[in-house]
Amino acid sequence: MFSKILIANRGEIALRIICACKELGIRSVAVYSEADRNSLHVRFADEAICIGPPQVNKSYLNIPAVISAAEIADVDAIHPGYGLLSENSNFAEVCRESGIKFIGPPPDVMRLMGEKDRARAAVKARGVPVLPGSDGILASPEEAIQSARQIGYPVILKASAGGGGRGMRIVRSEDEIVNLYQAASSEAAAAFGNGSMYMEKFVERPRHIEFQILADSYGKVMSLGERECSIQRRHQKLLEEAPSTQVSEELRDEIGGILCRMLADVGYVNAGTIEFLMDTDRKLYFIEMNTRIQVEHPVTEMVTGVDLVKSQILIADGAHLEDLIPAVPPIRGHAIECRINAEHPEKFTPSAGKINVFNTPGGPGVRVDTAAYAEGTIPPHYDSMIAKLIVHGKDRPEAIQRMKRALDMFIVEGIHTTIPLQKRILNDPDFASADLDTHFIERLFAKG
Ligand code: MV4
C-alpha cells in the first residue's frame, strides 16, 4: 500500500485528493507556490514544500521542481489532479523513470488520446461512433477542400494538439476554407507548437455529454454513466449534471459497453472521460478523451456512490476493479454542480482579491468542494474557480430546488462571482424542461 502521495496541484482539487488520502490512511505532501503559502492544501497536507514563485511555469508546471519535492519527501506516488501537469505524458514518463507511480494512465495511452486525430482513429477502429471526417491529418488546404467535398458542409477544422476550443474553425462554404484552414493552423502552431489539423462534420446546436470510466491495470473497465455538460460560456463549463435527461438506460448501456471494450483494447488504466456530442436526433458521437479526473467528477460520485479519487489511488496501487466496485452501480437520483468562479459579472474577467465574507451552504444533499475561506485571498495567477457547489436529489426537480436554495445560502463578499448567473440559469424555464445545448447561455443572455 502507498504510504505517501505528493499532490501536484492546488486549490479545491488538491484538498479533494487530501480528503481521499486521509480516508485511506495515506500521508499527503502538498507542493505550493509563494502565492499559496496560506492556502488550505498547505494547511491540511501532512507535509508541504514550496516549489517556486507564483507563476505556474516556475512552480506547478516546473517538472524538475515537482520531482525534486517528490524525491525529498520520499513519496510513492504523485496525483496530478486536473489541468497543470495532469495530461502531460512527458511528466508521466519522468515519474516512471524516477520510480514514482503517476496516478493516471500509462504515458503512451496519454499521448495517443492527447493527439485528437489519432484518438479519433483509434476509437473509430474499435466501434465507437464518430462523425464523418478526414482520414487523419490534412496535409494541405487542398486536402481540406477534398475532404470537405466528401463530408459536406458545414465542417469544422480542429487542431490535433488542441482541445477546449482553441485552434478550431467552422467552415460553411468552400470559398472560406483556405483562409480558415491557414488561420486555424497558425493559431495551433503558435499555441501548441503543432499546426496539424483534421476535419469533422459540424454538428449544429449539440449537447455536450461525457462518460466517466474507471479501468484497472488488469484489463477490467467499468462505465459509471454520463454527465450533461452543455451549459458553458466561452468553453468554460458553468453547470453540469448527472444523469442526462437525453440518455436512456439502453443508450447508456450500449455506449458504456462499447467504451469498456475499446479502452481495454488500448490498455487504458485509471479514471478517464470520453466526450461526445449529441445531435438533435439524440445520437452520440465521440469528440475527444480526457485522461484525468475532471472538475465535474462529483456529480458522478453523487449518483453512483463511487469515490472516484480514492478509486484512482487504489487502482494506481494495483487494486482490482472488482474488489473496489463489485457490481456496476445503478444511477441513483440526480446531481447538479455549479462552478463558482471569481469574475466580473459583465466583463467575464477574473476577479482576484480578498474574500471578506464566505458562507457555504449545507443541509441535506449539499456538498461544497472549495479551498476558499473568509479573509483569504484569491491570487491572480491561477484559474478563477473558487468553489464547486454540488447537490443531490431524488430526481431532477428536487435537485434543482435544492440548488436554488443552496445558491441563496452561498454568500461571497469582497469579490464578484458567477452565483447571480447560476441563479438565473436555475430559474430559466428552458433549464427546467432540460431544453439544453451548447448555445443555452447565449439564448439566456438574449432574453435580457
Ligand atoms: C464540435 C462542435 C460541433 N461539431 N465538433 C468545442 C471544444 C472541443 N472540445 C470540441 N468543440 C466542439 N466540437 C463538431 N464536429 C462544437 C463544439 C463546441 C462545443 C463543444 C462542447 C461544448 C461546448 C462547445 C461550444 C462551442 C463549440
CB of 226 within 8 A of CB of 209? Answer: yes
Residue 328 exposure: Cα atoms within 13 Å on the Cβ side? 15
C-alpha distance from residue 409 to each of 216, 247, 360 (Å): 40, 32, 7
Mutate to test the pocket of ligand 1, among 227, 235, 279 (most ligand atoms within 8 A of CB): 235
Residues with a known catalytic role: 292
Give the nearest ligand 1 atom to 165 CA: 7
The rounded percent of the chain whose pLDDT value lies above 70 is: 100
> Is-cis flag, bond preceding 105, omega within 30?
no
Domains annotated on the chain, with CATH: 4-103 (3.40.50.20), 132-201 (3.30.1490.20), 207-446 (3.30.470.20)
Pocket of ligand 1 (CB under 6 A): 131, 156, 163-165, 200-203, 206, 208, 232, 235, 277, 287-288, 438
Distance of CA 169 from the midpoint of ligand 1 (Å): 10
Instruction: Tell me how far the alpha carbon of residue 60 lies from the centroid of ligand 1, in angstroms.
Output: 28
User: At residue 263, what are phi and psi to the nearest 5 degrees?
Assistant: -70, -35
Is pTM beyond 0.95? Reply is: yes
Q: Within the chain, how many helices (H) and strands (E) appear?
A: 16, 20
Round to whole Å and give the CA distance between 223 and 272: 10
The atom of ligand 1 lying closest to the CA of 203 is 4
Report CA(72)–ligand 1 centroid distance (Å).
Answer: 43
pLDDT, one tens digit per residue, over 372-393 is 999 999 999 999 999 999 999 9
How many Cα atoms occupy the beta-carbon half-sphere of 150 within 13 Å? 13
Asked whether residue 145 carries a pLDDT value surpassing 80, the answer given is: yes
Which of 205, 208, 296 has most ligand 1 atoms within 8 Å of its beta carbon, as the pocket-test mutant? 208
As to burial, measured by CB atoms within 10 angstroms (0-12 exposed, 13-18 middle, 19+ buried), residue 69 is: buried
Residue 201 Cα: closest atom of ligand 1:
15
Expressed in angstroms and rounded, the spacing between residue 16 Cα and the centre of ligand 1 is 29
- Give me the mean pLDDT over the 29-56 stretch: 98
pLDDT averaged over every residue in the chain: 97
Ligand 1 atom at shortest distance from the alpha carbon of 232: 23
- The protein residue with its alpha carbon nearest to ligand 1, atom 17, reads 165
Tell me what pLDDT residue 175 has: 98
Banded pLDDT at 348 (limits 50, 70, 90): confident
Beta carbons of 416 and 343 less than 8 angstroms apart? yes
Q: DSSP labels for 406-431?
A: HHHT-EEESS-BSHHHHHHHHT-HHH
What is the CA(337)–ligand 1 centre distance, in A? 21
**Predicted local confidence at residue 165, as pLDDT:** 76
CA dist 99 → 74, 96, 150 (Å)? 10, 5, 49
Instruction: Please name the residue whose Cα sits nearest to atom 9 of ligand 1.
Output: 164
Q: For a substitution probing ligand 1, which of 209, 277, 285, 286 has the most ligand atoms within 8 Å of its CB?
A: 277
- Ligand 1 atom nearest the C-alpha of 155 is 15
27-33 and 47-52 strand pairing:
parallel
**27 residue type, one letter:** R
Model confidence at 188: pLDDT above 90: yes
Residue 347 has pLDDT above 80, yes or no: no
pLDDT tens-digit readout, 84-104: 999 999 999 999 999 999 999
Handedness of CA 432, 437, 439, 441 (dihedral sign): positive
- Residue 300: pLDDT band (50, 70, 90) is very high
Ligand 1, atom 21, residue with closest C-alpha = 208
Dihedral of alpha carbons 209, 243, 237, 207, sign: positive
At residue 142, the 3 state secondary structure works out as helix
158 CA → ligand 1 middle, Å: 10
Query: What burial letters (b/e) apply to 185-203, b meaning 16+ CB within 10 Å?
Result: bebbbeebeebbbbbbbbb
Of the candidate ranges 146-155, 176-185, 338-347, the one whose mean pLDDT is the lowest: 338-347
Instruction: Map residue 86 onto helix, strand or coil.
Output: coil
